[in-house]
């Protein structure tokens, strides 16, 4: 395993982070525990979760993933070996069963304390805002459009002040963003600099061969402002494995079970995926590992969040750390990207 440092900290994290959002729905508690055991044995010390998980979000699955991690901590005593990240859910119909007051001070406190109880821990290393309160382009929206119905008023100072109180209480250590835009990142950094408030150290956004929109504005932000990308969906919900090509719907696969997760599937995304599958085959390597290695090796990526529903998938994903993409493969990837740039939002 290779390691990086969370920006503005002395915390070493594995370049591959274990994503957990299927535990409690597609995966059982026992399977989640087995994944954590294996990941730790392979040198992974960074786990990412959220109060909203398991997905798809529902009242029945709310908090289940954190509970599974909590029972593993209690059973193994390994809390001190793990850098733990979690998130507060944002507003929306999707999460109305959780709360409807966004990132109000009482909402943030309720979310943090609820996560701590479920996780059976006294602190969370990295606490993230799962998505913005304001109406903007995230979760598959390609570009910003002004929304006259957006009632959000800038509360970023208040959010940071609330998070500062929780840091001072020892309940969280550091803070990060998720599904953010360049404007959002700079607004948070500006408020921190001008008012001596905690600084956002990371941003968890989608990044994969099918969606490289992070490179347009946020990659420069990562490098110049030292805010690390925690890349999610590096396999585009498994689409980049090629298993959905030709209209296939494998039994038990995420897009088979949950058609609403069609963000990375269909149209030019399928055409691009076939080209990436062919490129990997031409070089006699796994397309899954090629796609993950592409993310692993980008300089703005602090950690690559992988997720798996089977142990076979988990093993293949983690082994991507050993793959070093040569110049010819990089050129092949860029040629496909130039032909079909960002086919999935």
Q: Which helix (H) or strand (E) holds 216?
A: helix 214-225
The pLDDT confidence band at residue 192, using thresholds 50, 70 and 90, is very high
| Cα–Cα distance measured from residue 320 to residue 58, given in angstroms and rounded to the nearest whole number | 33
The pLDDT of residue 252 is 84
pLDDT of residue 262 exceeding 80, the answer is no
- Determine which one of 3, 53, 138, 232 is catalytic: 53
Q: Is the Cβ–Cβ distance between 125 and 166 less than 8 Å?
A: no
Q: Which helix (H) or strand (E) holds 208?
A: none
Provide the 10 A C-beta neighbour count for residue 135. Answer: 17
Q: If we measure between CA atoms, which residue out of 289, 237, 245, 287 comes closest to residue 264?
A: 237
Q: What is the pLDDT of residues 136-155, one digit of tens each?
A: 999 988 899 999 889 999 99
| Cα–Cα distance measured from residue 187 to residue 192, given in angstroms and rounded to the nearest whole number | 9
| Cα–Cα distance measured from residue 127 to residue 114, given in angstroms and rounded to the nearest whole number | 13
Q: Is the Cβ–Cβ distance between 290 and 276 less than 8 Å?
A: yes
The pLDDT of residue 261 is 78
Q: Are strands 16-19 and 46-48 parallel, antiparallel or unpaired?
A: parallel
pLDDT of residue 265 exceeding 80, the answer is no
Per-domain boundaries in the chain: 3-204
Q: Which two tokens stand for residue 111?
A: 């979310």
Q: What is the pLDDT of residues 94-135, one digit of tens each?
A: 999 999 999 999 999 999 999 999 999 999 999 999 999 999
Domain 3-204 falls under CATH 3.20.20.100: yes
Q: If we measure between CA atoms, which residue out of 89, 200, 197, 92 comes closest to residue 141?
A: 92
- DSSP notation for 297-324: T-TTEEEEEE--SSHHHHHHHHGGGG--
Q: What's the mean per-residue pLDDT of the chain?
A: 96
Assign residue 237 a region (left: φ > 0; alpha: ψ between -120 and 50; beta: otherwise).
left
- Average pLDDT over every residue of 252-264: 83
Q: Is 53 a catalytic residue?
A: yes
More confident residue, 341 or 263: 341
The pLDDT of residue 256 is 84
Q: If we measure between CA atoms, which residue out of 146, 155, 23 comes closest to residue 91?
A: 155
Provide the 10 A C-beta neighbour count for residue 8. Answer: 15
Q: Which helix (H) or strand (E) holds 16?
A: strand 16-19
Is the torsion defined by CA of 147, 153, 154, 160 positive or negative?
negative
- Average pLDDT over every residue of 214-225: 97
Q: What is the pLDDT of residues 38-93, one digit of tens each?
A: 999 999 999 999 999 999 999 999 999 999 999 999 999 999 999 999 999 999 99
The pTM of the full predicted model, rounded to 2 decimals, is: 0.97
Residue 166 main-chain phi, psi, to 5 deg: -70, -35
- Average pLDDT over every residue of 169-190: 98
| Cα–Cα distance measured from residue 139 to residue 65, given in angstroms and rounded to the nearest whole number | 21
């Amino acid at each position: 395993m290779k390691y990086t440092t969370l920006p503005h900290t002395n915390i070493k994290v594995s370049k591959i982070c274990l994503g957990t959002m299927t535990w409690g729905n597609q995966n059982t508690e026992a399977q989640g525990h087995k994944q954590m055991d294996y990941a730790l044995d392979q040198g992974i010390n960074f786990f990412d979760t959220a109060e909203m998980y398991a997905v798809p979000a529902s009242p029945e699955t709310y908090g289940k993933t954190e509970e599974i991690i909590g029972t593993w901590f209690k059973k193994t005593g390994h809390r001190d070996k793990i850098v733990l990240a979690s998130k507060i859910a944002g507003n929306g119909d999707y999460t109305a069963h959780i709360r409807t007051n966004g990132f109000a001070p009482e909402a943030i406190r309720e979310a943090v304390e609820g996560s701590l109880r479920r996780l059976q821990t006294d602190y969370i290393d990295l606490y993230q805002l799962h998505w913005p309160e304001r109406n903007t382009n995230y979760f598959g929206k390609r570009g910003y459009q002004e929304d006259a119905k957006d009632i959000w008023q800038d509360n970023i100072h208040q959010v940071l002040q609330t998070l500062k109180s929780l840091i001072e209480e020892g309940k969280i250590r550091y803070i990060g963003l998720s599904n953010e835009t360049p404007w959002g990142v700079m607004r948070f950094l500006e408020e921190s600099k001008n008012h001596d408030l905690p600084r956002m150290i990371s941003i968890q956004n989608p990044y994969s061969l099918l969606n490289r929109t992070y490179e347009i504005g946020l990659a420069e932000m990562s490098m110049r402002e030292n805010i690390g990308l925690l890349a999610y969906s590096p396999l585009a919900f498994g689409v980049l494995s090629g298993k959905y090509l030709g209209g296939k719907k494998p039994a038990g696969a995420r897009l088979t079970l949950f058609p609403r997760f069609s963000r990375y599937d269909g149209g030019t995304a399928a055409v691009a995926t076939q080209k990436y599958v062919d490129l990997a085959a031409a070089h006699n390597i796994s397309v899954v590992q090629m796609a993950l290695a592409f993310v692993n090796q980008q300089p703005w990526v602090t950690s690559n969040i992988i997720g798996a529903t089977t142990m076979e998938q988990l093993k293949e994903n983690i082994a991507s750390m050993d793959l070093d993409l040569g110049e010819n493969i990089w050129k092949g990837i860029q040629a496909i990207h130039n032909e079909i740039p960002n086919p999935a939002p």
